[in-house]
Chain A
Amino acid sequence: MKVLSLYLLNKSGGLIYQRDFNPESNGINKLSSNDYLITAGTLHSIHAIVAGLTPPVLYPIQENQTGNQNQTGLFQVETEKFNLFIYQTLTGLKIISIVQKGVSQETATRFMANVHSIYSDYVMKNPFYTLDMPIKCQLFSNKVLLLSEAS
């Protein structure tokens, strides 16, 4: 699978990590850092609006095996060139990935679950990382890059 871009948002919708993968050939435009912040905030808001629009469920929610707690919010955006998936953890962290067309939802979800796992190791366990602040951890970046190449 080809991941084009990865975004991490803290629980208030602030962008704490953004990265494009092999940018010269991947068919996604580079934006200014301000535009990334706006994109993140907008997706966060739409996600919440969609969740608000969804009527309360009348049936039990299916058990999911991935840890993705995004049940009623904005889940997927499809465009001509790529798909965007949103994954949310119980603590409110959002992991957003932009992937090439044709990548299945399961594959993307698995990728984001793995990102969560790397985040829990290389960001949360870094004693000098301040919660909810932009992630500037080289180890995390390296691991994410490896993961994007492997999946």
Chain B
Amino acid sequence: MSKPYKLIGEDVYKNRTEKINSELFTLTYGSVVAQLCRDYNNDYKKVNEQLESMGYNIGIRLIEEFLAKTNFGRCINFKETAEIISKVGFKMFLNTTPTVDNFSADGKQFNLILEDNPLAEFVELPDDNKAVKELWYSNVLVGVLKGALQMVQLDVDVSFVKDILRGDPSTEIKLRLNKILKDEIPAGED
């Protein structure tokens, strides 16, 4: 628990990751979401699903880079997982460090509060009275987290609970650990 994840995250971000123009990234994501909204005729539930599934496919691939660059071993508990996701994972790929909050008593659930969401920098949701209620604009993150954690044998429910874009005071993602997929942990770890 005492490991300096903040420093590790900064080091990996500074020295070992490729950087791109953040506006290119933000605008690309924006046009993907806008296109999905058009494709699904503003059926935002479908858009959310589609974003999550795209994120999932990213997550199951991205985890490999995360492991190759950080050399982390298995976490001893979900608290450590939370620390690593926020201080190293988000730092490395999005250069932001969400706050870990609301850890449940059983240690299986927490919220990530994104003070600064690079995906949504220039975004205002369409004012059709539906988008603000139904669309989770950054839902791709939910899929990424779910996919990445599943590849390290953690079955986790991930969902957005708040989004500044919808008028909430903050942007929050909730993660709940369902179970550790013990049968799928590769032999030989310990």
Q: Which residues of chain A have a CB within 8 Å of any CB of chain B?
A: 11, 47-48, 50-52, 57, 61, 63-67, 69-74, 88-93, 113, 116-117, 119-121, 124-125, 131
Contact = CB atoms under 8 A, between A and B. Distances in A.
Interface in B50-96: 60-65, 67-74
Contacts of B132: none
A88 B73 CA distance: 11
Among A50, A52, A88, A92, which residue has the most Cβ atoms of chain B within 10 A? A92
A144 to B, nearest CB: 14
Given A69-B74, A90-B74, A125-B61, A116 B186 contact: no
Q: List the 7 shortest-distance A-B pairs measured between CB atoms, nearest first.
A: A73-B188, A67-B71, A92-B186, A120-B65, A48-B187, A51-B188, A120-B64
Nearest to A67: B71
Contacts of B120: none
A51 to B, nearest CB: 4
Contacts of A48: 187-188
B160 to A, nearest CB: 26
A48 B189 CA distance: 10
B65 A121 contact: yes
A69 B64 contact: no
B56 to A, nearest CB: 12
Contacts of B187: 47-48, 51-52, 73
A69 B68 contact: no
Nearest to A44: B187
Contacts of B61: 124-125, 131
B68 A91 contact: no
Interface of B: 60-65, 67-74, 151-152, 184, 186-190
Contacts of B70: 67
Given A90-B74, A90-B152, A69 B65 contact: no
A69 B73 contact: yes
Nearest to B65: A120
A56 to B, nearest CB: 8
Given A67-B72, A124-B62, A72 B186 contact: no
A92 B153 CA distance: 10
12 contacts: A11-B186, A64-B71, A65-B71, A66-B71, A69-B189, A70-B189, A71-B189, A72-B189, A73-B187, A90-B74, A91-B186, A117-B68
B177 to A, nearest CB: 17
A71 B185 CA distance: 13
Given A90-B67, A90-B73, A91-B151, A69 B186 contact: yes
Nearest to A93: B64
A65 B63 CA distance: 18
B57 to A, nearest CB: 9
Contact of A124 (B65, B69, B72, B73): B65
A11 B186 CA distance: 7
Contacts of B189: 51, 69-72, 88
A52 B189 CA distance: 11
A5 B12 CA distance: 30
